[in-house]
Amino acid sequence: MGILSKLKNTFSSKKDGDRYLSGLNKSKKSFSERIRRLAVGFAGVDEAFLEELMIVLLEADIGIKTAQKIVDEVENRAMDRKLKKFNEITDCLIEVMRDMYCAKEDAPFHKNTDGPTVILMVGVNGSGKTTTTAKLTKRFQEEGSSVALAAADTFRAGAIDQLATWAQRLDVPCIKGREGGDPSAALVDACRYVKEHQIDYLIGDTAGRLQNKANLMKELEKMRRVIEREIPGAPHEVWLVLDATTGQNGISQAQIFLETTNVTGIILTKLDGTAKGGIVIAIREQLGLPVKYIGLGETVDDLRPFDIDSYLYSMCEGLLEE
């Protein structure tokens, strides 16, 4: 049994299956269709086939360096195993992408066992950071946890009110900074609030300015310093929110945040709005960070924990169709 068939068998038991399939539908249609086209005139893993495969991977937003690694590994495994049939090659491709993602063991979620767990949300304006903060809040509530929000994006006009509106809808406290004020002050107040009220999670929504890297670094360093002073070991997680529709540009932006703060994971938003879902593999390979959650729709319930097997099956399901 090939890997795609195995993924199909396990996928049926995944509770997020339907959301993955619907959310990745654009990517599945694009990727599967382009791969299937390679079957026309397929004569083995020769130079012409590998060039065409490279193009398909680039069109999926996997990025040139990562795509080249995948192509080289597919060629090596095909030669070693003497693979001749097209479906054997597509299975090999899926296997290579899965192995690439799983090559590094990820640190477990750093939950504070001695007080509130603090999660800092970072990313550029427009990435969906504030909405994702609200969606995370809903997930934690459904798990039975209490949550408070810190509106520390004091730079973008309307950001504080936007988060406060979400907090009201979700019935959670929102500790607000002053527009144009010091975001660290809001985080200090929020840390003290969650300690006093014994709240499980504090999620801090921060500004996404990239115009001045030095200022961004200084601001994020100060945030980490004041949070750690209030709650030792915090922030326990720093999650970078990336817009999947920005593709390789999003990865370039991410590099700046990685240089300025200790990012522990990625949340990939708007994956339902792009046909280039290969960005997940590019993020993993180029940034070396795990994808924690993916946005598969606009509703508050459409933020789902990332699962590599569900992702690969949803991207490649079309290869099973005749």
Binding residues for GTP: 123-130, 205-209, 269-272
Hey, is 201 helix, strand or coil? strand
How many other CB atoms sit within 10 Å of the CB of residue 49? 20
How many other CB atoms sit within 10 Å of the CB of residue 47? 8
Rounded to a whole number of angstroms, the distance between the first and last alpha carbons of the chain is: 18
Q: And the tokens for 126?
A: 């427009």
Alpha-carbon distance of 89 to 81, in angstroms, equals 10
The Cα-based distances of 168 to 44, 152, 189, 205, 308 in angstroms read 59, 17, 19, 16, 34
How many other CB atoms sit within 10 Å of the CB of residue 321? 7
Residue 203 CA to chain centroid, in angstroms?
Answer: 17
Burial class (CB in 10 A: 0-12, 13-18, 19+), 171: exposed
Whether the ω angle into residue 235 lies within 30 degrees of 0, i.e. cis, is yes
Question: Starting at the edge strand that comes first in sequence, how are the strands of the sheet with 303-305 ordered?
Answer: 174-176, 147-152, 201-206, 117-122, 237-243, 265-269, 291-295, 303-305
Q: Which amino acid is at 47?
A: E
Alpha-carbon distance of 170 to 148, in angstroms, equals 10
Q: Which residues sit in the known binding site?
A: 123-130, 205-209, 269-272
